[in-house]
Structure 1
């Protein structure tokens, strides 16, 4: 299904009516456009409800390379390379809506997370959380599902993902061989996991 962006924003606004806090998970494989689409959706909601939508990127919860160590850095981006307990705790605090919550933001060019890179304020009733594994049907990821009021999955064909991912690595300074290696032997392995082991979303966005 390919819903219109504004219609999707209106749908979320209607569902969140009267809620002190409403959490939306936007999941999908690497290269699906989660960051881009979640920002679009957040902006669309804010067009109708100025200042009431915020965005939490799951990538901010990457473990630092120093924590992963030499053996794990090459697979950075796999489910076990994220601080899921930190993410879960922050989502619980956001749901409570008692205080503003600072969340980390990942700096892709620097390949590191910036602590406190974004603030989710009390005014932001509708919070979109975007990331690869938010609907992964494996413990401990599946335990996140009760924290979300509504879930959305970005459905993108593999051929499109491969093209986007190769270009991403090239733009980050990899040579062609390195870009192909990282795309096919890292990112697309994670993409297949996300696609094949996903809890049913409330809606698919193709």
Structure 2
């Protein structure tokens, strides 16, 4: 199974949505939300590659709490759940990006899967980038402070894929980054899937459903 599925051509409907956001002439934020393994990061990369210089990706995953802090809080085995992120920090970044001064560079964190840690200051966001694609699991969650996120986005797309494809892709991803087949399956069942159910319960709040089947 391909861990990095390709989208050969973005359907015209979605191309038109992107062009409409770009045509507004000022900074816009597009949210991509979906369950773990849905392909949010891949879609974000496709958008950035099709509109080079006009789109930059801002991942929510950079706001994972550090493993040492998760150990202190006793949440390491639930890493990926809403309370294992610096949600207030994420909201603060989105607010700053909406009001970014013309001569300001905003630095956002990235997430390094091989280390399972966030990397501070890894993404430099220039003020003249018109469209930021914000991708993450909890952009539509009702819990505070996540419930502030959608209002900071101009549009939200829910990335939806068949469950068997998503779960298979997710299980293989965990194996790629060092888990045994059994550990990967257990993590998906007991950690990722409870989170997926919470995420999918809020999908009706999205502006657009983005579906792909491969």
- TM-score w.r.t. the length of structure 2 is 0.88
In the alignment, structure 1 residue 86 sits paired with structure 2 residue 89 = yes
In structure 2, C-alpha distance between the alignment counterparts of 1:199 and 1:66, rounded to whole Å: 36
Q: Determine the structure 2 residue equivalent to 1:170.
A: 175
In structure 2, C-alpha distance between the alignment counterparts of 1:162 and 1:174, rounded to whole Å: 15
1:17-55 Cα shifts (integer Å, max 9, x gaps): 233200000000000011111110122122xxxx12111
Q: 2:47 touches 2:55 (CA, 8 Å); kept in 1?
A: no
Q: C-alpha displacement at 1:15, in angstroms?
A: 2.9
Say which SS state the counterpart of residue 130 (structure 1) adopts.
strand
Structure 1: gaps spanning 5 or more residues: none
Q: Determine the structure 1 residue equivalent to 2:4.
A: none
- Please point out which of 100, 105, 117 is paired with 1:100: 105
In structure 2, C-alpha distance between the alignment counterparts of 1:94 and 1:179, rounded to whole Å: 36
Q: Determine the structure 1 residue equivalent to 2:63.
A: 61
Q: C-alpha displacement at 1:138, in angstroms?
A: 2.4
- Please point out which of 159, 181, 188 is paired with 1:183: 188
- TM-score w.r.t. the length of structure 1 is 0.91
In structure 2, C-alpha distance between the alignment counterparts of 1:179 and 1:11, rounded to whole Å: 37
In structure 2, C-alpha distance between the alignment counterparts of 1:178 and 1:59, rounded to whole Å: 22
Q: 2:58 touches 2:134 (CA, 8 Å); kept in 1?
A: yes
Say which SS state the counterpart of residue 85 (structure 1) adopts.
helix
Q: Determine the structure 1 residue equivalent to 2:76.
A: 73
Provide the aligned C-alpha RMSD in A. Answer: 1.6
In structure 2, C-alpha distance between the alignment counterparts of 1:94 and 1:174, rounded to whole Å: 36
In the alignment, structure 1 residue 33 sits paired with structure 2 residue 39 = yes
Q: Determine the structure 2 residue equivalent to 1:109.
A: 114
Q: 1:23 touches 1:127 (CA, 8 Å); kept in 2?
A: yes
- Please point out which of 130, 135, 139 is paired with 2:140: 135
Q: 1:137 touches 1:199 (CA, 8 Å); kept in 2?
A: no
- Please point out which of 22, 25, 30 is paired with 1:16: 22
